[in-house]
């Protein structure tokens, strides 16, 4: 019997982790702390929901198939704001809207890769990127990050072969949270251009970047589109996770190829979510700035709390965006520790083994903490529970 590509691809990690909750009860005195998934749990702000409801009730066109590449108004607004944010030039025709950022990555790979081609992924990697490559017969070339959790362009260059089609970077990173310096992003762009391959840059969490100013200068290059494929998500910024609205910014020629993929897979992105994203971009700038400040405040709380865990052997490897990436002190693999934490500490997190290839032992000592949905009190409780674990956990 022939094994299908889905049969040989690992199960979705977040769904697998949720199964660890089966048969486990949590009391009101010690409720579950869920730091497994990087998604807002609150609904969009009321004003945005009212705007979406208005579209639902009064815009008949919103219930029909829309343009395959997305609403023209949303494409134009994202082009304008991206050009402004990055001090560069982006046109409407270089923007398309997708059904979430994962679909944007899938579409990018569809335009780049054939059977047996290769894409370089820094490790720890985002597991859905690896899953999509596996399901399409594309080889993922692991690029282990350095001790600062940043990838080395020289090591990446050594991996490039005639079958390599792209390098994928995520900044702020998932799973480590680390923000890639602008100079490093530029080095990878220059490397990709030099070898005639694409740089896929996923900036899903860019709205929560800690540094002021443009995160990088790639869009200021007048020919950025010969190398860069930029991915974005509206889900985190406007709490639209359930509406699946993402985006790709690339050359007009590439988007003509992307259109084939999107028309086949989804025909068009969901219209209500697109109208919500557009309204959010036009009206929620100050609100989003406040959301960013709150995430940065929670990040600071983690920095302040880490000295409680460090004497116990914990180490903070990366922090930013929605994530804290930690090395644990126990003599068991994180693959065993993570489900044990559900039972012993009431904490649901993801093990580093879900972000590393087989044979890479680094993931066994690591955990990802998605902290964005915990306030200062929740973070304090989380650290209390981790500190109370017996050293032989």
Checking if the pLDDT of 366 tops 70, the result is yes
The pLDDT of residue 238: 94
pLDDT by residue (tens digit) across 229-267? 999 999 999 999 999 999 999 999 999 999 999 999 999
Mean pLDDT of 161-173: 98
Q: How confident is the model at residue 1 (pLDDT cuts 50, 70, 90)?
A: low
9 close to 134: Cβ distance less than 8 angstroms: yes
Q: Which long-range contacts (CB under 8 A, 24 or more apart) does 353-357 make?
A: 354/13, 354/16, 354/127, 355/123, 355/124, 355/125, 355/126, 355/127, 355/175, 356/123, 356/124, 356/125, 356/142, 357/123, 357/130, 357/140, 357/142
350 close to 17: Cβ distance less than 8 angstroms: yes
Comparing 37-41, 81-85, 347-351, the range with the smallest average pLDDT is 37-41
pLDDT by residue (tens digit) across 107-139? 999 999 999 999 999 999 999 999 999 999 999
Q: What are phi and psi of 196, to 5 degrees?
A: 70, 30
Helix/strand number for the chain, H first, E second: 13, 13
Checking if the pLDDT of 392 tops 80, the result is no
Neighbouring C-beta atoms of residue 388, cutoff 10 Å: 10
Rounded Cα gap, residues 264 and 54, in angstroms: 30
Sorted by where each starts, the structural domains of the chain and their CATH numbers stand as: 13-43+287-387 (3.90.1150.10), 63-283 (3.40.640.10)
pLDDT by residue (tens digit) across 368-377? 999 998 999 9
- More confident position, 29 or 158: 158
Neighbouring C-beta atoms of residue 364, cutoff 10 Å: 17
* pTM check: above 0.85: yes
């Amino acid at each position: 019997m022939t094994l299908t590509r889905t049969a040989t691809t690992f199960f979705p990690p977040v769904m697998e982790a949720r199964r660890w909750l089966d048969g486990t009860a949590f009391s009101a005195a010690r409720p579950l702390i869920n730091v497994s998934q990087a998604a807002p749990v609150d609904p969009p702000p009321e004003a945005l929901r009212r705007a979406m409801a208005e579209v639902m009730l009064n815009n008949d066109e919103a219930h029909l198939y829309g343009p395959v590449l997305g609403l023209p108004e949303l494409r134009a607004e994202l082009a304008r704001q991206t050009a402004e944010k990055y001090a560069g030039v982006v046109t409407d025709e270089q923007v398309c809207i997708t059904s979430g950022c994962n679909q944007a990555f899938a579409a990018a790979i569809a335009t780049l890769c054939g059977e047996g081609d290769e894409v370089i992924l820094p490790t720890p990697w985002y597991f859905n990127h690896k899953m999509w490559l596996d399901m399409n017969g594309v080889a993922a070339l692991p690029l282990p990050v350095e001790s600062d959790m940043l990838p080395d362009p020289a090591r990446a260059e050594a991996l490039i072969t005639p079958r390599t089609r792209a390098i994928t970077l995520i900044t702020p990173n998932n799973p480590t949270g680390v923000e890639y310096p602008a100079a490093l992003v530029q080095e990878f762009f220059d490397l990709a251009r030099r070898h005639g391959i694409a740089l896929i840059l996923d900036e899903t969490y860019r709205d929560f970047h800690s540094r002021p100013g443009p995160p990088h200068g790639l869009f200021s290059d007048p020919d950025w589109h010969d190398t860069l494929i930029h991915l974005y998500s509206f889900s985190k910024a406007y709490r639209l996770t359930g509406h699946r609205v993402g985006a790709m910014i690339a050359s007009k020629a590439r988007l003509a190829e992307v259109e084939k993929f999107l028309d086949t897979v989804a025909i068009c992105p969901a219209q209500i979510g697109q109208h919500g994203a557009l309204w959010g971009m036009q009206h929620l700038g100050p609100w989003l700035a406040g959301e960013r400040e709150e995430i940065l405040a929670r990040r600071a709380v983690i920095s302040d709390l880490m000295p409680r865990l460090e004497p116990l052997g914990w180490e903070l490897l990366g922090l930013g965006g929605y994530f804290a990436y930690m090395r644990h002190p126990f003599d068991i693999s994180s693959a065993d520790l993570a489900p044990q934490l559900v039972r012993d500490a009431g904490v649901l997190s993801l093990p580093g083994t879900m972000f590393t290839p087989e044979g890479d032992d680094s993931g066994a000592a690591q955990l990802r903490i998605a902290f964005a949905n915990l306030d200062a009190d929740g973070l304090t409780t989380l650290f209390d529970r981790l500190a109370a674990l017996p050293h032989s956990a």
